[in-house]
Each structure stands twice: as structure tokens, then as C-alpha cells.
Structure 1
């Protein structure tokens, strides 16, 4: 009877009454109640948001934990995700569990503390269990974070943070856990605010009072900084170290640690370490050897601020004590290999001021000569005068352009023979997204096996798709068909159809009516791609296809005409009806650039006597592939393209494919764009292989956003466009231009990859790209500093001539505005950096010639970076300096 009463009280949400019933139960009686509580939990889970579920949740949460007599079961029940929405309070848990043995309570406490922080186990519950058990305090991330939030909260505690810390019996253990944890510091960083009442000052005050061991805390801070980590973590420990206000002795005894931090830590930490070492060096408390060791690490860093500060420090030490030249000048020469020529020049000038202090017999001059080989060609002229005309090999080397290997087409492997092998590839495709080749052969494999042995295929696929949300039998997922009505989500719609989760009326509606998904500029590409997937899913249920006609021959999406004729012949023999979308995709993919091969295939296709054979023959003899007319339009700072109609993709093509040939307007109102999945975008070039300008024009708006609106990952499609077939025209080059000016590094790297691949394939129109970049920078769509970073990365791969050929046409546009008034014209921020890259490329590639408006920039007054680099570029172009 007590079990029935408990279940009734729990269902009614009477937590207090349920707790009273539990108090009088034996362990055996509690275990007997568990099956009923589990059934109720299953019932409430199906209607998680109902009023009855929310009402009964807290009582069920507490009662289930109390009825588990095993610590593992109780901990699992308390931490269960489905209990999180209506959980019992910590006080209720401590009441219903308070009569257990201390060892049992300690076991539950530690099991709960070991759960991830995302489990959100309340700290009052954890600390209460630890108190009742009188056990050792856990030092897991979840417990430590809860402790920090508890101490830092003013809601339930009086006094300041430092007062609460003084009273905490576990202070030493928790502070030690803060330094040892790999993750917790990042999540509690927001608690470390500034001001007298902050954690920083509280810990520093307790350290000063001797409550915390100063040496232990200082060593722990330095060790945590040496360990590295995300910047948020590093800022916490650096700020705490700063608040401790280290004495000179404490700084001196850790000089090796500061050296390591200055060389390898994040910029903020490295700057602090450098400043500590600088103060030691200027007070003669750092040996020249240690300073040289530190300099060798810092001068290899990319942060120019750190590098320049280090050269200034070395200059001060050398000026105070010229006898250190033999040890310090080789360290200065480490900067000869820095990517910034201004840094190289600073280092060379420093060597020039102190080289006279060197002894002829110490061998340091030979070290400097060897290091000077790393100087850029323009700076090496000064090094030759300094170190001797014969010391350096001044003969200009013949520049050899370094470009990536030209991508080669790869044939698709046949579809997997066995269902088990196919299931493995489906799993890999679902996990990674796959490329065009993996996607197409897996899709063809699903069609072939569904035609030959559907039951065997389904059996092999069950374990692979078991964790997909639509494969769950949970009643919550009752609208799977609505999900797939919006989009097929790659092969998932076919998998869900094979396992009976998508009804026929949903598939039929998708095939007949298409979709409104993506009424945007690249909606035409996605609709054509989706149409074939829906058709395959429908035919798998209604009229299985023996195989797909449109499976490409090559990984770029192209299909050989003879292969398509062979497939149509097999369809004819099997009396199979081709899929409308599949055949349309096959026509767009079939290769027509080899006229002789296309004509021979057309003869064979016409001989089949089928409608598809006649259509293919007509398509193969029509020429092409054609591209629509285009014209430039401006929208704000953007330069975009509009496309005219492409008549050949109209007529007999299905409606979802005709959109590919319809005009593209820049100013047409657009609905929300759902095409955020990068895995889908890589397939768009394979929808219209040989016509990448069509794809580029439709993604141009996205590419402009990575530069103008600072959006992220929009340029990920650029490498696919560069490797695709077809003409690289106006749209492709504009896409690359926007990508080179992207806000985020990963987008700029994608654009650099595309630029180099186009150059390697001989498809880069440097004049067009340079002109586009000049106009985009001038309009404000591309920032010069971002462009300089991207173009410098491209040059660093060894493509100096390629980069110079682009900048040769971009710079005159940017310098033109300065030519009208060479003394007061305001240059764009970053123009000096672009000129620096151009000068480096011109020097290394041996470029010569005149550059419009460069002379006026070089003759401006002052020594700004723009003027200095303009003069350097002019010298390189007029003297023909080469590496």
C-alpha cells in the first residue's frame, strides 16, 4: 500500500507528502517502488511539456533517487537529462537521502561531481552531500565551478569575497584545483572582475596575509601560463600574477620562465614576460647570454610590436655596454629572416651601429654574413655595403615560381558491391559530409542495392542510422515528413524512406510540386540538386531504379557521353523508366567539348529509338556548354553581376532545372536564405559542370558579404570553384577578389588557395583580378590591410611573380587618388602594407618597368610606411633587383 500511496503522491506533484512516505520505508520497499516510478517517468517523457509532467517532475525526481539503493543508480537518476526540466530542489534531495550511510552518500557525491559541467548538477546538492558524508571534497570541473559561483555570489552570503574565502575550510584545495583544471578557469573567468572587491584582489590579499602560500600561488600562476591555453584563461592568470606584484627577487629567480613565455606564449602574456625581462636587463640583472636566448625566440614571432620592442631593448643594452656585441649581434641577426622588411632594416641598422665593436677573430662577422642571406633582396644591398661587397653572393638568382600542383580529374570508383560495405560508406558520409565523388557513388550504391535486395540493404543500414533523430521511436518526433518536406538533407531522405519513416504522400508532393526552400540567388542550384534526391527517394518506394544515369564519370561532376549511352542502353534492355530529374542532371553533366566523341555518342543514342536517346543525341550535337550574357551592377559599395537567360536550359528540362537558365537579378527581393550548410555548397559546381561562372555569379553575394559585412565561411566554396571545369571569367575573379578581402582568416585562406590553383591551371586573369581589387578597395568594399595579409600569404608560398602580376594592375588604381596632390592626399589605411608586399614580390621576381602614379607616391614628404615602401618598389622596378 505504501508503494501505491507514493506513486499517487508523486503523480499529484505532492513532494512533501512523498518525502514523508519515503522516510518510513525500508530499502526493500523502496526498491519495490522503482518499477512504477520508471513507468511513470516513461509516460511523462512522452509529454515533456504538459502540465502534468511539470507538476509531477520534482516529486518523481526526488522519489526515484531515494528508491535507488545503489549509488550508481541514484546518481544516474539525479543527473538524467529528462529530469533537468522539472527537478527537485537540493534541500529535498538532502532530506530524502540523508538517512543513508556516509560512504554511500560520498560515493553519490563524487559520481555526480564527475559529471560534465553541462549536466548542471546544483552545487548546494553536491556540497550538501559532501557535508553529510564528511568525505574528501571533489576537485572536478563541475564542483570547482560550482564552488567559485557559490563564493562569488552575493545573493545568499554576506560580506565580501575575501571574507567568505577566509571562512571556507576548503580554500587551499579549491584554489589548487583552479590551477590544475584544464577547463574550469575559462568558465569562471567572468567572475574575475576588476576592482577592490574582485577575486584578483581577494586572492592577492589572502596571499599577503599568509593564508595562502605566496610561493605556491606564484609558481602555480607561472606554471599555468607556461601550460598555455585559450586567451581567456591566460588573461585570468596573468591578471592574478600582476595583482601579486612580484618582487625583483621573485622576478629574477624565474627568468627562465619569462624567457619561455616571451618566446611561445600568447601575445598578452609574451608582452608581460618581455617587459619583466627588459627591466631586469636594463638593471644589469639579466646576463647577455640569457638576453640573447630570449631574443632568438621573440624575434621569430609574427607580432611586429613584440619584435620591434625587442630590437629597441637590444639597442639600449648594446649602447650601455658595447662589450656585449659579440653575444647580442648574432641574436639581432635573427630578425634578418622576418617577413616584414622594416624589421629587417631595423635589425640591419642596429648591426651597423655596433659592428665596429666586434673583434676580427671572434667569428661573429661570419655569423652575420650567413644570417644576411635571409634578407630580402632590397635590404641585402645595404648589407653588402656594411659587411663587404664580396661577402654576400650578389649575383641575382633566377626566380622560379612556386605554384601548387595542377588538380587532376579522378574517375569515380564503382558503387560498393556488398550492402555491408555500402553501409560503412553511408556512415562515413553522414559523419563527414563527403565530397562529390563519395556522395555520388554512395547515392548510386543505395539505388542499386534498393533495386537488387532492399531487405538486405535495410538490415545493413539499421545500425548505421540508429542514432539519427528521425530513426528514434520517441513519439516526440511525429513530424518527420514535415522535416523532409523542407529539404532532403542529402542522402538522409533516401535512408529515412528505406526505413519507412517518410510517407509516400510527402515524397509525391515533393516530386510533383518542388519546394519553396531557398527563394534566393542560389536557390536554383539547390532546387536542381534536391529534385534528384526527392525523385530517387520516391522511386525507391514506388518504382526502383536499377542505377542512376547521372552518376558522374569524374569527381568534378562531368559525365562521359559514351558512358551515358551505355546506361541508356541498359535501361532499354531492362525496360526501366528513367527518372526525369536524373536524366536532366545527366544531360547537364555530359561532356560536350570533344566534338568527335560527342558526335559518335549521338549516333549511338539516336539508334536506341527511345525519347531519352533522341533527346541526348540532340543535346550532344547542339554544341556548348553556353554561358549567359552578364553585366556589372553596383549596390552600395559592392560590385555584383546580373545574368541573362540561358535558352538551352529551358524547353524540355523539368521546372526545377529551368531556373538554372533564367535571368539573375541583383535587385530582386530575396527571401531568407537557408543554404548555410557548407557540405551542400560543394556539390553545386557538379550540378552544372563546365559552367562554373553560373555558380560563381549566384554565390557572388555571399562572397561580397565576407568582405563587406564580415560574415564567416562564405568563401569556403572558392577552392571548389577553382578546381571546377569551365571558363574562369568575370564572376569567378570577382569572387576571389572579395575572398582576398574577407574579415576572417579562414575565408582569406580559401581565397588564396583559389588564386594559386587558378594560376597553376593557367586560368588566372591577373589583369582582371587586379583591376577588380583596385576598384573594390577604392569603393570601400575591401580593406587594404586585409588584402595585404591575404596577398602576402599567397606570395609566401613562392608565387611572387603571380602576386606581382595582380598587384601591378591593382596599385595604379589605388595610387591615382594620391597623384592629384602628392603632398596632402590621404592614403587608405593599409596601402603601405600592400606596397610592401608588392616591393618584396618585385625584388624577388626581378620585375621591371613603370607603374603609374608610383613616382608621385615615392616623392611625398616624410618617412611613412607608404612613402618608404613606394620608394623601395620604385627602386626595385627601375634597377631590376632580384633575389
Structure 2
């Protein structure tokens, strides 16, 4: 190869490779000619007759027969005009094959392979050829197909071949699957190696085997593609394989060897690795450049000139990268090459991190520097004081001791600054801080504790529905599948109202804004309503009457899961709207919420029924049923509304009056079947042991539509695991906004999957449950307990928010929550470290008393467990911090026995701390009780 740019200087090796490719192509062409000759006499029947007709007809017959290996020889005698004439039929055949069903899969695959080769040979422009070869339906992963294409393009101009190669390489998926073809075009044309993500990914797959190092040495592309691989945002899989450095497929070792041999530029490799680590990303993607950097090892000058980079990594990078950067900076500090100001900047960033190992190492480093350079105390100690607010009290203690050893070397202003920071220390360290800083801290002693809880969230009214077609269509486009139930309901109401007022205008606007052709497909709405789309399809008349009726009449199998049943309420309403939208039978929706939680003001519902009565319209069954489930039943206004509803003189009014007078919530009971002994059995998992029993409610089973009757006790009370994905979970609480205990019982199995398994995003209903109405019992507290123990940190944060909202509204039974958490932790369904993280976050908002009220009934069960509870030390640390701050007193069964043990283990240290805090007399009584 005699290319330029990145490949300059590698012409000899490229020429050899180019010759090899040409020999392979020539050999393939000879085999193809031989096959055509043999096939001409034996395969005429059923293939279109390869020896009859014009050359173009023989080519098309071979393609239709799926004989890709015959195509190069059949293309060879065709001139430009003949190839152009063949292109049209090839395109038509390609369109035809797209319409074949799965039963002709093997036949279609063979034809597509032949089309892939023939189309490439008949195209003339580079752009058109690249588009054909990159077509998703034709794209071939067979290396032999690439060789066939190379043979039909053998006579093309090198510049043309280079253009095609670069175009193919620029498309990631195409570059991965067409690596052999692209490489052949590159080597034949002598163009620059296309260093794109897709091409590099395919190259690493191709070259990684037991001879990796030797192949990298021999490959002329190595010098171009390795730098790109080091810079990629998503590191190729082969480069991150978990194999030891002695393994022949270990990329970092191979690259370090090439650097040592001079094949790769050492300075470039170091620079690329550092740059990639600075950009950050997933730990998986940073593992490769980090390993390479450790093996190549920057020299002293390179370490010193990149000090700002190392500091940035210690502050923000994932732990392995931050640890490496900390090691480099520690080495520079030991050499005296790190100024006190630079070390202080580094220290501030590291001490802000949560990884205790990094924080301890940094305090040790600062201690060594202060011993060697006492004059650096004024710059370093304020940075050390950042650790006073660390969540781990042992780290606070280390930092306080370090400050105490060197505080005598700072002036009064720095000392005051340190005293200010000492206010972040845990109360257990206050005596030591007072002894160190004196009167600067004594002023805070005796300040009464005050529990800080968030303000009670206000229930926001739902805005009126859209009044114009333009406004409504905009809402449908943005909220047609909205996760905000109130906004979604508002949009549905606007749709129903405008469909009666301006049906023609609305239909025209919907056809313009939505791709409506697939709504008429027989199976599109078979399993999902796709949000408001099913209603729009009904508006446009695209749904047959039998489909509408079956959608409205659908009920629940007795073995259906609660998630499907909850989602079925919304589905039934949407099918009902699809059948009635635009007609006189549905002037507006009765079930539109008046509050963001989904609740309806009883007085408003009475007026809606009055309007229906005045118009002589009978309410739609599902719409009325949902309205009844949403109406507030426990307020004083409900009793007055019941009288007014009864006076309407309509059947719907009488139903509303009876429903309001009952006031009873939908009832459920939750229990758990025993845990199986075998971990592989289904009964081992908490998800499979939850039994939810729904109370019998005759009025629901007799008067409500089929999709609602399960609320009256129609489902079997058996444990069940769900294997489906439900995307309407945000609407579950809004369907029963005044029966949150019922909803909580129904979602327990999914929440348990987040705590007992590894599923994520399952705690979404918790926020709505906390803000909803109705009694709060065991189900809500169990749901909260599962949320606090979820594997996903975001799910735990949702649970923390729900806990604080319940506490602020006075709905939290802290003792009940602690009791439920106790057995969940002891049996292993909730991990103590996750629970400790959630409760620590809750307490940090100022709710120390609330958290202690949860932990007080929990700790005796953990301390008295038959098997030691792993992670107990973290829970005890949170408890000790809460007691020290809220100044609670009392006794915890089993705590003194643990605290008296002679051990430096974390759980013993924290037990001693908690025991001491509980025995200390409170300076002031709590201003609030939990």
C-alpha cells in the first residue's frame, strides 16, 4: 500500500497485504466461473435457466435463485449499460423480498445475499454503492460475501474504492458487520485507515486470539487503530476481557510490550490514556486505559506536568481511577514536588468523596506532609476540616485528631475557621472539639433539638381541559402516554369534549399530527392501548365494532396478577372512550380528577351528574365506576354531597349517594407464606411468598363493569410472580386515590423484586402512595420498607421522600415500620447496608428523631438474631448519630452485651457509641415527639 496520511511509511507491508487480497479475489473468481460452468448444465430447472436468455436475464435468474457465488462471473461480461439495466429489476426484487413472510426466511436470506453482491456490481456512484451495501435488509455478516463484493469491484478506480470504504466505515453498525470488505477496499485503494468506532470495534474482534501480540506487530493498521481504541467512549469488549496479564489475549500487556519495542509511541499512549480517564464514564469503559497507564507508567516529568489532571481524577473519577491518581500525587508529595496549596486543593476534593478508603489514605498523606513540613498547617488544616462533616464518625475522629496535633501552628483567623467547621462534627466528638477550640463551640451547647420535616405537600388542583383543537393536539403529542396521571386525564377530558364540539376539525388535525395507518392494523391494539392512541383510532373510525366491544367487556382472569388488574382499569376506560368518543353518549368525562392525586371533590362529581341528568345522558359504565373510586368519601363535605346526590333523582345519583354513605375503604389483608429451605426453590424469594387477600364487596362485584369487579374480591389470594412489563404503573395510585392501602397491597410483589432481587425503577408508586388519601396500614408500611431496601439507589431515594411525606402528614407509624423492617432484615430480604444508606439520607434532612423512632424497635431484633447480621455496624452507626443529635434516651435489648465485647470491629465500636449516647442525660427535652 502506498497511501498517505496516517499510513505513510507502511507501504511495504501494505503491498504484501494488497497482493494477498488480490490473490484471494482472483482465486474466488476462478472458483465462481467453474461453478457457473458446472451449474449451467445441471441447474437450469428451477433457477431461471442460467444458460438461456440474455446475460442480464441470467444474472437476474441467479439472484432470484439465491446463488450469490455465481454473481461475480455473471457480472463480468456486462458493460455499464447492461449493469444499469439490471439495477431496476434488482431493486424491485429487493422490495418484493421485504414483503415475504417468515415462512420464506431461508429463501429470502439466500436472495438477499445474491442481491448484496449483484447490486454492488451494478451501482456506479460511490455513494449509491455504499448505500446499497449498508442497507439494513441486505447487510451481510458473512466474510465470504465481502470477498464476493471485492471481486465484483476489482476493476474500480482506487479513489472510488477509497470513497466507498470511508462511507461504509462512517456508519457504526455497517462498519462492524462489513469489516472484511472495508479492509479489502482500504488495502486495494491505499487510502487512510478509517479509524471509526465501528471499524475499530470490528478490528478488535477480528484480531483478538491467542496470537494477539504477534498479530498486532504484523498488522499495518495497529499504529492508527490503537490510539482510536484508547480514546473511545465505549471501550470494545475484547479490550476489557477479565483475563490476567499473563494471558495471551490481554490487550494492556500487549500494548505495553509494543510501547517498549517502539512500535507504539509512548508519549502518545500516555496522553491518550490520561485524556480518556479525565473524560470519565462507566468504570467498565475506564478499566482498559487505566490498566494500560499502570503498565506503561508515566515518567517523573509526565507525572509532574499533569498534576491538575491527577487532582481532577481524585475528585470526580470512579474509585479505581481516583485511587490511581491519589497514588501518583502521593508519590509526588513524597518527592517534595507537590506544593501545600496544591495538596490542599486535592484534599478538599478527596474528603468530599464517600469512599472511606480514599478518605483515610488522604488524611494519612496530609499527616505525613505536616510532620515533614509543619509550616504548611495554615493551608492544609482548613482542607482537613472538610472531613468533619463526613458520614463516618471514625473519619471525623481521625480528622479532628489531625487538626488537634497541628492547630497550635495556625493563627487566630484560621483557628476560628476550623472551629466553625467543627460544628459539623457528630455530637460524640463535641467534648473533644470543645476541649480543642474552647469558647468558640461552647456557645452552641444547650440549644434544644428541633425535628425538621418537609412541609405537608399541598394537593394541587387540576387545570381545566384544552378548549381548542390546536392546544389539544399539542397535548396529545406530548402527553398521549404521559407518566403524569393528572395531565393525562386532563388531556382525555379535552379530547372527549372537543370531539363533540368540532369532530371534523379534530379528525383532520389528528390525521396530520399522527402516523395513523398502523392504527387500523388488526394486531396493533391486541395487547396495549398505547395511551390515548386507541381513543384517537376510535375517533377516526379505524376500529371494528367487535374489537371495541371486546375491549370494553374484557374482565380479569381469577389468576391475573394485581398489576394487570390495576392497569386493566385504565384500559377499560380507554376502550369505552374509543367506542363513544364524539357521540352524544359521552359529553365529557365524569372521572376527570379535580386534584393532582387523582381524587375528585364530591361536590364537583354531584354537579357533573346533574349536568348528565339535565342532558338526558346515562353515564358510561367504566367512566362512572372510576369516578366513584376517585371521589373523596371521608370528609365532612362527603356527607352533604351524599344528600345532594340522592336528591338528583337519577340512578347514577343514587349510586353516588350510597357509595358516599358507606365510607368503607376497599379492604385487603397481607400475609407471607413460609420461606422454603432450598435457595433454588420459588418459595425462597420474598416476591413469591406475598399473599394478598381482597375483602368481599358485593356492590362492586354486582354493579361495576367487568374490569373493576376484582376490587370486590374476585382474584385468587395466591402468591404470583409477574413476567410482564407494565408501563402504566404511574396511573395505579390515581385509579384508587382514596384507597392507598389497597394499592400498596397490590404493588408489594413488584416492590419486593426491587429489594429481594435486582430490578430497578419499581419504587415509582411510593411517592403517589404517600400523597394519596385513605387509611395507612401494614401494606403501605411494607411497601415503604421494601423501598428503603431496594438495590437501586434512585428507588431508595423515592422511598426516603415517601417516608418524609408520611411523617410530615402524621401518617407514619414509625414503630410499625421498624417492626416490618426487622424481620425483613433478619431473614435476608432487605440488606442492612442499603437500609442504612436510606435511613442515613433520611436523617440528614433533619429527621433524626423520626429515624430513631424507626430504629428503636428494629435494633433488638437485629441484635438478638440467631445468625450475626452482616452490615449491623452501619445500622448502629446511623442509630448512634440519630440518638446523639435528637438526644433520645432509653435502653435497647442486647445492646449492652455487644458493647461490652473487647473488639475493634465496626459493629462493636458503634454499639459502644450508641450505648453511651442512650445513657447520657438529655440536655433539653425534644421540641417535637415522633
TM-score by length of 1: 0.89
More divergent stretch after superposition (748-757 vs 196-205)? 196-205
Q: Which one of the candidate residues 823, 847, 869 is aligned to 2:910?
A: 869
The equivalent residue for 2:653 is 613
The equivalent residue for 1:822 is none
Residue 9 (1) aligns with residue 35 (2): no
Q: Which one of the candidate residues 589, 610, 624 is aligned to 2:663?
A: 624
Give the drift of 1:111: 1.5
Give the drift of 1:853: 4.1
Give the drift of 1:391: 5.4
Residue 880 (1) aligns with residue 917 (2): no
Give the drift of 1:517: 10
In the superposition, relative to structure 1, how do residues 221 and 513 fare at CA in structure 2: closer, same or farther (>3 Å)?
Answer: closer
Residue 39 (1) aligns with residue 39 (2): no
2:573, 2:623 within 8 Å by CA — same for their partners in 1?
Answer: yes
Residue 775 (1) aligns with residue 823 (2): yes
**1:630 aligned counterpart, secondary structure:** strand
1:647, 1:661 within 8 Å by CA — same for their partners in 2?
Answer: yes
Residue 403 (1) aligns with residue 453 (2): yes
The equivalent residue for 1:828 is 869
In the superposition, relative to structure 1, how do residues 195 and 858 fare at CA in structure 2: closer, same or farther (>3 Å)?
Answer: same
The equivalent residue for 2:472 is 422
Give the drift of 1:592: 2.6
Residue 537 (1) aligns with residue 578 (2): yes
After superposition, the C-alpha distances for 1:207-248 in whole angstroms (9 at most, x for unaligned) are: 111222212211221222122121112110111111214445
Q: Which one of the candidate residues 179, 186, 209 is aligned to 2:261?
A: 209
The equivalent residue for 1:133 is 189
2:344, 2:383 within 8 Å by CA — same for their partners in 1?
Answer: yes
1:557, 1:689 within 8 Å by CA — same for their partners in 2?
Answer: yes
For residues 752 and 772 of structure 1, the distance between their equivalents in structure 2, rounded to whole angstroms, comes to 16
In the superposition, relative to structure 1, how do residues 826 and 295 fare at CA in structure 2: closer, same or farther (>3 Å)?
Answer: farther
Give the drift of 1:123: 0.6
1:497, 1:541 within 8 Å by CA — same for their partners in 2?
Answer: no
Give the drift of 1:321: 5.4
The equivalent residue for 1:476 is none
Q: Which runs of 4+ in 1 moved over 6 A?
A: 85-88
Q: Which one of the candidate residues 113, 119, 124 is aligned to 2:169?
A: 113
The equivalent residue for 2:219 is 168
2:258, 2:264 within 8 Å by CA — same for their partners in 1?
Answer: yes
1:192, 1:200 within 8 Å by CA — same for their partners in 2?
Answer: no
In the superposition, relative to structure 1, how do residues 826 and 330 fare at CA in structure 2: closer, same or farther (>3 Å)?
Answer: farther
1:298, 1:307 within 8 Å by CA — same for their partners in 2?
Answer: yes
Q: Which one of the candidate residues 496, 514, 524 is aligned to 1:447?
A: 496
**2:912 aligned counterpart, secondary structure:** helix
Give the drift of 1:133: 2.6
In the superposition, relative to structure 1, how do residues 881 and 481 fare at CA in structure 2: closer, same or farther (>3 Å)?
Answer: farther
Q: Which one of the candidate residues 787, 795, 801 is aligned to 1:739?
A: 787
Structure 1: stretches of 5+ with no match in the other structure = 155-159, 474-479, 818-824
After superposition, the C-alpha distances for 1:465-508 in whole angstroms (9 at most, x for unaligned) are: 32x8935x9xxxxxx44453334343232234445554332222
For residues 671 and 378 of structure 1, the distance between their equivalents in structure 2, rounded to whole angstroms, comes to 47
In the superposition, relative to structure 1, how do residues 628 and 771 fare at CA in structure 2: closer, same or farther (>3 Å)?
Answer: same
Give the drift of 1:436: 0.9
For residues 118 and 102 of structure 1, the distance between their equivalents in structure 2, rounded to whole angstroms, comes to 21
TM-score by length of 2: 0.85
Structure 2: stretches of 5+ with no match in the other structure = 1-53, 676-683
For residues 132 and 758 of structure 1, the distance between their equivalents in structure 2, rounded to whole angstroms, comes to 71
Q: Which one of the candidate residues 52, 55, 58 is aligned to 2:113?
A: 58
Give the drift of 1:306: 0.8
Give the drift of 1:645: 2.3
2:208, 2:238 within 8 Å by CA — same for their partners in 1?
Answer: no
The equivalent residue for 1:281 is 333
In the superposition, relative to structure 1, how do residues 661 and 194 fare at CA in structure 2: closer, same or farther (>3 Å)?
Answer: farther
1:470, 1:501 within 8 Å by CA — same for their partners in 2?
Answer: no
The equivalent residue for 2:228 is 177
More divergent stretch after superposition (851-860 vs 199-208)? 851-860
The equivalent residue for 1:262 is 314
Give runs of aligned pairs for residues 652-663 of structure 1, distance below 5 A.
652-662=703-713
2:496, 2:582 within 8 Å by CA — same for their partners in 1?
Answer: no
Give runs of aligned pairs for residues 438-837 of structure 1, distance below 5 A.
438-466=487-515, 470-471=518-519, 480-482=521-523, 484-499=525-540, 501-514=542-555, 516=557, 519-540=560-581, 545-596=586-637, 598-600=639-641, 602-604=643-645, 606-607=647-648, 609-620=649-660, 622-628=661-667, 630=669, 632-636=671-675, 638=686, 640=690, 642-662=693-713, 668=718, 670=720, 672-674=722-724, 676-677=725-726, 679-817=727-865, 827-837=868-878
Q: Which one of the candidate residues 231, 234, 237 is aligned to 2:286?
A: 234
The equivalent residue for 1:856 is 897
**1:555 aligned counterpart, secondary structure:** coil
RMSD: 3.1
More divergent stretch after superposition (863-872 vs 216-225)? 863-872
The equivalent residue for 1:339 is 391
Give the drift of 1:684: 1.4
For residues 597 and 739 of structure 1, the distance between their equivalents in structure 2, rounded to whole angstroms, comes to 33
For residues 371 and 755 of structure 2, the distance between their equivalents in structure 1, rounded to whole angstroms, comes to 46
2:175, 2:182 within 8 Å by CA — same for their partners in 1?
Answer: no
For residues 441 and 577 of structure 1, the distance between their equivalents in structure 2, rounded to whole angstroms, comes to 22
